[in-house]
Structure 1
Amino acid sequence: MVRGGQGLARVAVVVRAGAAPLWWLGVFAAGIGVLVPGVTGRRIGVLAGAALFIVATAVVARSRRKRYAALAGAAARAGKYDVLQDRAVTVRTWRRGHRWWLLAAFAAALGSSLAVPAAGGMLLAGTGAGLRLKAAWLGRREKADDVLLWVRVDWLGRRGGGPAGKQVKGYRSTGIAAGDAAPGGARRRTAELV
């Protein structure tokens, strides 16, 4: 990078990157798990899974909101030489860095079906749904403040390196039209780019 610029990734994109794989792995694990009668039986497994889905969605969607809000409130303006990372690169990097965790979670969800059918898969899917809701919350905040929030890429690579982890000292902000992702981390529609 030139003249002290930093590589920046969108906060909402990083949050949203895990939502789809967790959701689909959870749905797949729950679908397979419901085929196994398990120790508790299918009915209890599905009811327990539904409860776990609701709890996981709520907990993940609400977790660390104060930290996100504090970092967003103190966000500094991005510099002239800062490099904004593409949405696809951010998503690909996150998924590559977490692929073994995703596979381990999927295996654990499948294994838990032997005891409580479908519950582990529904818990996994609830985690994905919670991340999607958190990204949507960040998107509403970005629209309200008329800014996009960015985090330094090198802070994400460290241990426990989430976008609101201890290693993150602050966010950067840009105008709402910067980058290739809409508020909340979704792809920009073609009409928005014109």
Structure 2
Amino acid sequence: MGRRGHGGQGLARVAVVVRAGAAPLCWLGVFAAGIGVLVPGVTGRRIGVMTGAALFIVATAVTAYGGRKRYMALARGAARAGKYDVLQDRAVTVRGWRLGHRWWLLAAVVAALGSSFAVPAAGGMLLAGTGAGLWLKAAWLGRRERADEALLWVRVDWLGRCGGAPAGKPVKGYRGTGVAAGDVAPGGARRRTAELV
């Protein structure tokens, strides 16, 4: 989805794009760690799990805090969404991100499973930490949106040029709407039915 009639653009919620990878990474990480812990590995299970716990913490922190300056700069310069801009539904955004990254996700879980023969469970816990970091970053975006009383949107065609990264170099700026726009609450969670009425 790109340019629309009358100069409008297709827009996806920034927080939804960030949050889209959280659940699959967490579940795939838990799966890979669960299978991996059954393998003795080179280091042994105890060292593998301890290493995995450290990697989980590091991955969560790096993912949650990485790139925040870029997000804040784009948010500060957000222009008001136009009358003819089309706000993409949450389900469409999530499905598009996950379809676009399906081979990357598969490769990541295969790599995590393979690493268990060396360091049991560590690769899976690294994946899970990355997913947790994305969830925390989306929650941080949600707090900013509530504080500013404005939801942040990114052009869909720009997302396509940067591999689905909502703060990638091709993204020149965000669009803003009121907090009632679209079908998503601040932070990227599905809006409750009561909020839609």
Q: TM-score range by the shorter chain?
A: over 0.9
SS in 2 for 1:173: strand
Structure 2, unpaired ranges of 5+:
none
The match for 2:44 is 41
Q: Percent identity?
A: 86
The separation in 2 between residues aligned to 1:63 and 1:153, in whole angstroms, is 22
Does structure 1 residue 50 correspond to structure 2 residue 66?
no
Note if contact 1:30-1:122 (Cα within 8 Å) is conserved in structure 2. yes
Contact 1:109 1:119 in 2 (8 A): yes
Query: What secondary structure does 1:157 align onto?
Result: helix
Match of 1:77 among 68, 75, 80: 80
The match for 2:195 is 192
- Per the alignment, residue 125 of structure 1 pairs with 128
Which residues in structure 2 correspond to 1:105-184 (within 5 Å)?
Answer: 105-184=108-187
> Amino acid of the residue matched to residue 119 of structure 2?
V
Please show how residues 94-109 of structure 1 align to structure 2 within 5 Å.
Answer: 94-109=97-112
> Tell me, what secondary structure is at the counterpart of 1:3?
helix
Structure 1 residue 43: Cα displacement: 0.1
Deviations 1:53-83 (A, max 9, x none): 0000000000000000000011000000000
**In the alignment, residue 72 of structure 1 is paired with which amino acid?**
A
Question: Is the counterpart of residue 88 in structure 1 residue 77 in structure 2?
Answer: no
Runs of 4+ in 1 over 3 A off after TM superposition: none
Unaligned regions of 5+ residues in structure 1, if any?
Answer: none
Q: CA deviation at 1:160?
A: 4.0
Q: Calculate the TM-score normalised by the size of structure 1.
A: 0.99
Aligned length: 194
Structure-2 separation of matches of 1:126 and 1:29: 12
Counterparts of 1:180 and 1:171, CA distance in 2: 18
Contact 1:60 1:127 (8 Å CA) reproduced: yes
- Asked whether the equivalents of residues 161 and 167 of structure 1 are also in contact (C-alpha less than 8 Å), the reply is no
Relative to 1, partners in 2 of residues 1:173 and 1:159: Cα closer, same or farther, differing over 3 Å? closer
Contact 1:149 1:171 in 2 (8 A): yes
Instruction: Report the equivalent of 1:13.
Output: 16
Instruction: Find the aligned partners of 2:164 and 2:119 in 1 and give their Cα distance.
Output: 32
Q: Deviations over 1:103-147 (max 9, x none)?
A: 000000000000000000000000000000000000000000000
CA distance in 2, matches of 1:163, 1:188: 21
Across the aligned residues of Structure 1 and Structure 2, the Cα RMSD in angstroms comes to 0.6
